[in-house]
Amino acid sequence: MGTTVKDHLLLCLGLLLACVRLIASPQDTSGTALVSQDQVADEVRELTPGTTIERELSGNHRHSYFIGLELGQFVRIIAIQKEIDLILVLFGPDRQELLRVNRYSRGRGDEEVLLVAEQAGRYRLEVRPQEKDAAPGNYTLVMDPPRAATYEDKTQATVWRTFMKGWQLRQHDTAESLRKALEAFAEVLHYWRTQNNPKDQVDLLNIMGTTYCDLNENEKARDCFSQSLGL
């Protein structure tokens, strides 16, 4: 069937809403942080539950925090960006990277880390500016008290890691990576629908719609935008 004026209007409206609701992060296609080699690592601090940390960060610095966790503990960390775009990178006790978070850009939106400790020890969270020449900006870091992970905690942490995997794949902007990103997003959408959280669903459907547009699959893009508008 041929496309109609209504179809074109729906596609354009969906794209417009996606641009308004979703501030895409700049690409990091290398899988490494966009930081300079001479970036200064400040002294590592302990991140303790219930403590709110407010600090200033600029493009030539990065901040690190130790987090002590027992096996099977769940932890949630929020970084509130204030006019600086942050990358959060979490390393395990073995110094291997576990999670990289950079969903929101332009210093807007909260970046979030969800983790269930698969081994006991000291984890390290690194807070980096997205841009190596970023002007000084403030951020606030808050960690909820770690607790023994419930089934729901484990599910949320797994889903969040799947979403961030899809988000990073999307930044590579190849047909293969975009399709793999959509597979990850579909898993996440299925879970978020069970949680009855319309906002998360709307945001994700818009992301999926713009991803289908990047693949020139406009029929699927219209379907995503239509579902988004219906929530």
Could you give the angle at the alpha carbon of 18 between the alpha carbons of 154 and 157, nearest 5°? 5
47: nearest Cα among 90, 13, 85, 4: 90
pLDDT at 2 over 90: no
pLDDT digits (tens, 9 = 90+) for 12-21: 555 555 554 4
Mean pLDDT over residues 163-184, rounded?
A: 94
More confident residue, 41 or 18: 41
pLDDT digits (tens, 9 = 90+) for 81-131: 988 899 999 999 999 999 999 876 655 679 999 999 999 999 999 999 988
- Taken in order 5, 10, 11, 17, the sign of the CA dihedral is positive
The domain 40-148 having CATH identifier 2.60.120.380: the answer here is yes
Angstrom distance (rounded) from CA 67 to CA 57: 20
Question: What's this model's pTM, rounded to 2 decimal places?
Answer: 0.76
| Per-residue model confidence (pLDDT) at position 36 | 40
CA quadruple 56, 24, 183, 29: dihedral, nearest 10? -70
Pairing outcome for strands 110-116 and 73-82 = antiparallel
| Per-residue model confidence (pLDDT) at position 11 | 61
| Per-residue model confidence (pLDDT) at position 40 | 66
The full set of domain ranges for the chain reads 5-26+173-229, 40-148
Whether the Cβ atoms of residue 91 and residue 47 lie closer than 8 Å to each other: no
Q: How far is CA 42 from CA 63, 75, 112, in A?
A: 6, 24, 22
| Per-residue model confidence (pLDDT) at position 60 | 81
Could you give the angle at the alpha carbon of 169 between the alpha carbons of 80 and 174, nearest 5°? 135
| Per-residue model confidence (pLDDT) at position 131 | 87
| Per-residue model confidence (pLDDT) at position 141 | 95
pLDDT at 50 over 50: yes
Angstrom distance (rounded) from CA 118 to CA 16: 41
- Say which DSSP state 43 is in: P
| Per-residue model confidence (pLDDT) at position 45 | 93
| Per-residue model confidence (pLDDT) at position 133 | 86
| Per-residue model confidence (pLDDT) at position 196 | 84
The confidence band for 33, taking pLDDT boundaries of 50, 70 and 90, is: very low
| Per-residue model confidence (pLDDT) at position 146 | 96
